[in-house]
Amino acid sequence: MSKYGHRPYNWHEAIANKLGGEEQADRFLRGELSVSKLRQRWSDHGGIIYLPPVTSDGTTGPQWIERLERKDFRLNDYTKRVLCSDDFKPTNGETTEAAVFKGMLFTDNDRTTKKVRALAEALKFTKPNAEVACLIRENFSDEDIEAMGLWWIVAMHEPIISDGGPRLLGAYRGGGGRWLGACDGNPDDGWIHYDGFAFAVPQVSS
């Protein structure tokens, strides 16, 4: 009998997921991957969370599907259709620092796509490339998103028309976790207070 037989049935699966899936768990067992104490990699300034920069590498939408699923992230058919759209245009070597506006910054009546964008524009934040949603999903765990006080981090890129409407990509920790999802992006659509909205931080010219 296993010395860990008293643990819940999904305990070992949870450990593998925490390490980043089967491939990363195998690397850990081979001594190729170390585990260190978690350090917070973001800063929260008055309800705006600043994430560390992420850099694109030319990964296309279909390649993102393969890349994320290989790491045990979850994508539904709606999300895959957005990623396979001609309007998903990857870049290579572009670094983005994202700022996530927490839903708590807005009242329930004012928490619409249009008003979230208006606040970001007034503060000189810009639309990120849609691939930033994939980079955020890959680089931040569900536990990270929970520690930020959020369920969703939605990238506020130029909406991609798919399944008859505008869609926005985002990282989601509900519904079993580790999702890259596709949200409705209509201007008047409302959101909830634990949603977060990612914009690109303006670059300061030297």
The encoded tokens of residue 105 equal 């910054």
Q: What is the pLDDT of residue 59?
A: 99
What local confidence, expressed as pLDDT, does residue 42 receive? 92
Dump pLDDT digits (tens) for 180-191: 999 999 999 999
Residue with tokens 């585990």: 35
**% of residues, the chain, pLDDT over 90:** 76
Distance between CA atoms of residues 205 and 52, nearest Å: 19
Residue 195: partners with Cβ closer than 8 Å, 6 or more residues away: 103, 111, 150, 151, 152, 154
Both structure tokens of 82: 């957005």
Buried b (16+ CB within 10 A) or exposed e, 105-130: bbeeeebbbebbbebbeeeebebbbb
Mean pLDDT of 38-62: 92
> pLDDT (tens digit, 9 = 90+) per residue, 123-159?
999 999 999 999 999 999 999 999 999 999 999 999 9
Confidence label for 47 from pLDDT (cuts 50, 70 and 90) = very high
Give the model's confidence band at 41: pLDDT under 50 very low, under 70 low, under 90 confident, else very high: confident
The mean pLDDT value of the chain amounts to: 92
Give the model's pLDDT for residue 9: 66
37 vs 110: CA distance, rounded Å: 39
pLDDT at residue 205 greater than cutoff 70 = no
**Nearest-angstrom CA–CA distance, 17 and 48:** 28
Question: Contacts by 16-19 with C-beta closer than 8 Å and gap 24+?
Answer: 17/72, 17/177, 17/178, 18/141, 18/143
Could you list the beta-strand ranges (E) of 16-103.
Answer: 43-45, 48-50, 54-57, 74-75, 92-96, 98-102
Looking at residue 22, its pLDDT comes to 85
